[in-house]
Structure 1
Amino acid sequence: MTSLFKYFLCLFFFTAFGFSQIEEVNPASYIKTIGFKGSTNESQLPILKLGEPLLLEFDALTGTEPDFYYVIEHFNYDWTPSNLVKSEYLRGFDNQRIQNYKNSFNTYQIYSHYMLRIPNEQTRGLLVTGNYLMSIFNDDDELVFSRKFMIYEDLVNVGVAIKRSRDVKDIDKKQSVDIVINSRNINFNNPLENVKSLIIQNNNLNTAISNIKPQYTLGNQLIYKYTSETSFWGGNEYLYFENKDVRAANVGVQYIDLKDIYHNYLFVNTSRANQLYTYNPDINGNFLITAIDANDVSIEADYTMIHFALQHPELTDGSSIYVYGNYNNYALEPDNELHFNSETGLYECAFRLKQGFYNYKYVITDKNGILNEGAISGDFYQTENNYKVLVYYRDLGARYDRLIGMGEGSSVNISN
């Protein structure tokens, strides 16, 4: 596949949709365990300081060692294509084949593990801050999947404080994010229009709050202390399991069975919405690949069929229940949708996951596809959640939105 063809393919895609906001494309069924992070960032949503390396890993469960190619595009704050040409934000070339891969060793499930590091010999670095999209294509010029990431400069201090909701009706269920931005190097021009903030809970872009304007401006200090505009549902601590030993039941695993691959049957879960909050340390929806007696878990960890079961009354209003977590980028897909089994009286589903430690919870979408994260798990102000605040700025005459700072906070020390 030529670089020119991919360029026109991306150009056609953006033009056909009227330069609308770009969305991530979920992977094909044979792509599993996508890991996307920086050198010091263990989340699946890389937010990197300019100059830091970026690592993308994934498995192809085909056994044929397929070829994949990567394309990097730059975007504005609202995920519309920026006006920059590639040479202005990328040093070197993209549209290159991913050359670094290894085949699985001593596993029931055959797969190839691919690794892409930026910078590399072809793509020597990214030159500007802002929003980026990494797109992976196959040999047939088909888009296999895409992932968003951000690069920032440390030009402003971003203070983040987590408070209980100021709205009395939600004081026990919501968490509010207060923000104070102090500029050291930039004199903001018209900050109400040119400064834009993004608030992300637990690295989940699907529920992020955007387009929040400063509530108060004191010189070069911008203050956000809203009643409801920067509030998130508290949710509940994630459920979890670990199957680092596929031959024995482990944390959260009730029993196992060996068929074509190992099958792990988790303990039956119940609704927690009407129960009292109980602190249970989690990793905020994330996952970690682990396997005992393995020197290299990237190729020695096996895939198992994980069986989920939820005790819940049958829904007859068109709603759906899903297993939710960062293992698949919080996607709601047919594979992780639970279906009611009239014989057992349980909602059940099963899908392949690589050995490891996984956070998950159950969520409901109504007949219109509207997500309700707390319908089964509950919402509690005490829940420990991670929050990241990204600050974008476009100066007068600038051609793209710079990402000038990032702040982080946790609700572990939530206050009134």
Structure 2
Amino acid sequence: MSVKSPLFLTLLLCFNLMFGQVEEVNPPDYIKTINFKGNTPETQLPILRLGEYVVLEFDALNGDEEDYYYKVEHFNHDWTPSILVKSEYMDGFDNQRIRNYENSFNTYQIYSHYRLTIPNAQTRRLKISGNYMLSIYNSYDELVFSRKFMIYENTANVGVSVKRSRDIEFIEEKQRIAIIIDSKTMQFNNPSRNVKAVIVQNNNLKTAIYNIKPQFTIGNQLIYKYDTETSFWGGNEYLFFENKDVRASNTGIQSIDLQDLYHNYLFTNFERATRPYTYNPDINGNYVILNMDAENPSIEADYVWMHFSLLPPTEDLKNRDIHVYGNFNNYTIDESTKMTFDESRNIYTNSMLLKQGFYNYKYIVADGNKGIDEGFISGNFYQTENNYKVIVYYRDLGARYDKIIGLGEGSSINISN
């Protein structure tokens, strides 16, 4: 049985649900442009206030107009299954067919665009806060992909400030997060055990810092002033391109070509780790679907082969791989994002099928043993503008699930010492 088969993925999810932390399942190649958001333009990591809606959109490029179904599960703060039954966290039913879909219009690449909104007529309400997983299945009840999201109650104030590292070794490269949590409506019982914070940089759960406990308590105020425990590499501003007009060269695009589909060739990038930091406004790894000639980009934006190229860095990359990295695929690295070295041109190249729009991306180095090094090619600078979200979990005495009692957000644009 292939490790990429839907049956294997379903069995893997069932094992995780029963015995450990659940992980998101990435989609097959024919599923593209997964937009997952709440009432903000940011995609891939919805963090909703209780009572708000969440929207999932995706394209199926196989042209089969298949039926897809969704299921919603509730989890503890550490993404292990909660003991709640569906009726305790959901008003209505899941395992329903996604009824809202349209076929592409006036595009070279045919696709079906699916849209799911929760709450809806079948799933009328998600009743409690906490961690959730939205899973999409096909008509054979095979798991296609899954995505995490969170719902919070606004019962605690979460102050977030971004400061330079106090470690002289990393003072030019890292950013540390200071947090103050308080509440005028609830009393924290045994906060060192019952309150847990998660810090997320640029909506990327894969690099989040989990299970941060309060460092000090002053009355009902929880203080976090760690250094290493709440520090992130600063990284660098994202590179970007725009191809909302597919027939002309746009920002970041050197040339275009029309074959079976349009091909866009980006200007060749270079390593920035050894160069001084330069401020360059970005959208922190995100992307937006755009088509300047369309009324509805969701079904009128076309798919384009994007050709990336990178001059090789000076340092040796033996046993390491370079990948294109960003929120366009939920910060996943796989064979589709891997760069290949072209000896005849002395550059690394990659070709990726992406929907028209405005995209942030960067190049990262991956090592199977050491993980991902985001700064190897782009560099790490304390001045980099990053977005940080702090999610606060609380389980009171005798409670059966972890609430999310507050959400704080901060930016390093005004970083201080």
Give your verdict on TM over 0.5: yes
Separation in 1 of the partners of 2:223 and 2:399?
24
2:380 maps to: 379
Provide TM-score, normalisation by structure 2.
0.96
Do 2:311 and 2:348's aligned partners in 1 also have CA atoms closer than 8 Å?
yes
User: Could you list the per-position Cα deviations for residues 90-114 of structure 1 after superposition, in whole angstroms to 9, with x for gaps in the alignment?
Assistant: 1100000101000000000000000
Displacement after TM superposition at 1:40 (Å): 3.1
Separation in 2 of the partners of 1:367 and 1:344?
27
User: Could you list the per-position Cα deviations for residues 132-171 of structure 1 after superposition, in whole angstroms to 9, with x for gaps in the alignment?
Assistant: 0000011122111100000000000000000000111100
Q: Which amino acid aligns with 1:389?
A: V
Displacement after TM superposition at 1:131 (Å): 0.2
User: Could you list the per-position Cα deviations for residues 78-129 of structure 1 after superposition, in whole angstroms to 9, with x for gaps in the alignment?
Assistant: 0000010000001100000101000000000000000000111111010000
Alpha carbons of structure 1 residues 14 and 142: separation in structure 2 relative to 1, 3 Å: closer
Secondary structure (helix, strand or coil) at the match of 1:229 reads helix
Q: Which amino acid aligns with 1:317?
A: K
Provide TM-score, normalisation by structure 1.
0.96
1:183 maps to: 183
Separation in 2 of the partners of 1:169 and 1:234?
14
Alpha carbons of structure 1 residues 367 and 210: separation in structure 2 relative to 1, 3 Å: closer
Separation in 2 of the partners of 1:169 and 1:390?
29
Q: How does 1:5-16 map to 2 (within 5 A)?
A: 13-15=13-15
Q: How does 1:9-408 map to 2 (within 5 A)?
A: 13-15=13-15, 18-313=18-313, 315=316, 317-368=318-369, 370-408=371-409
Give the RMSD, CA atoms, in angstroms: 1.4
Secondary structure (helix, strand or coil) at the match of 2:25 reads coil
Q: Which amino acid aligns with 2:134?
A: M
Separation in 2 of the partners of 1:17 and 1:50?
24
Secondary structure (helix, strand or coil) at the match of 2:339 reads strand
Do 1:239 and 1:359's aligned partners in 2 also have CA atoms closer than 8 Å?
yes
Displacement after TM superposition at 1:43 (Å): 3.1
1:5 maps to: none
2:4 maps to: none
Separation in 2 of the partners of 1:137 and 1:369?
33
Do 1:14 and 1:20's aligned partners in 2 also have CA atoms closer than 8 Å?
no
Displacement after TM superposition at 1:263 (Å): 0.3
Displacement after TM superposition at 1:292 (Å): 1.2
Alpha carbons of structure 1 residues 231 and 108: separation in structure 2 relative to 1, 3 Å: same
Q: Which amino acid aligns with 1:384?
A: E
1:412 maps to: 413
Separation in 2 of the partners of 1:217 and 1:371?
35
Q: Which amino acid aligns with 2:35?
A: G
Alignment length (residue pairs): 408
Secondary structure (helix, strand or coil) at the match of 2:237 reads coil
Displacement after TM superposition at 1:367 (Å): 4.1
Secondary structure (helix, strand or coil) at the match of 2:229 reads coil
Q: Which runs of 5+ in 1 are unaligned?
A: 1-8
Secondary structure (helix, strand or coil) at the match of 2:298 reads helix
Alpha carbons of structure 1 residues 103 and 17: separation in structure 2 relative to 1, 3 Å: closer
